Amino acid sequence: MTDAIPSDHPAVDSYRVELSTVGSTSRPQIVLPGDLECDVDDFVRVVVGGARAHAQVDSTLAGRPVLRGAYANKRLARTTDGENVLAEWLDDEGFQPGTTLVVDVLTDGYAYGIREPGTRVVYEPIEKPDSSLSEIADSL
């Protein structure tokens, strides 16, 4: 198990992103940088506002990867039922479309942190499960 890692650690790649909305709706979305190793329909772990959550990568009309929600578990992320901790955090912090945020890469393709620029966050380790175990879980 690795130690906690701060957002300003050299091992953490950080990308500035702009908060936007889905089309003409008021639903928030974060368009992810194109050079991340996550694809549309992938499930990733997200740390937002100190809470760990699960998110399914969606896409814009142009095919760019985007996060529109973060939920307590993978099933809720798939169905978008339950509490959307990403939307609640954005709302609680008063972030509006056009606000710049930072996406920290904790484990590319698996775990990301979202924070306000200039804010230092210490992330607890999020270990990627053994691939054979996650294949078994996905098949159930």
C-alpha distance across the termini of the chain, in Å = 27
Q: Residue 135: pLDDT above 80?
A: no
* The pLDDT of residue 131: 62
Strands 122-123 and 5-6: antiparallel
Residues above pLDDT 90, as percent of the chain: 76
Half-sphere exposure of 28 (CA within 13 A, CB side): 23
Q: Can you give the pLDDT at residue 126?
A: 80
> Is 138 a residue whose pLDDT tops 80?
no
pLDDT of residue 62: 87
Sign of the alpha-carbon dihedral angle for 14, 10, 5, 138: positive
Residue 26 reports pLDDT greater than 90:
no
What pLDDT is recorded for position 77? 96
Query: Which is nearest to 105 in space by CA: 96, 114, 97?
Result: 114
Give the count of domains, the chain: 1
CATH number of 80's domain = 2.40.330
Number of C-beta neighbours around residue 53 at 10 A: 23
Work out whether strand 5-6 and strand 13-21 pair parallel, antiparallel, or are unpaired: unpaired
Mean pLDDT of the chain: 90
- Phi, psi values for residue 86, rounded to 5°: -65, -50
Rounded to 5 degrees, φ, ψ at 2 are -85, 165
Which residue segment(s) compose the domain that 128 sits in? Answer: 5-139
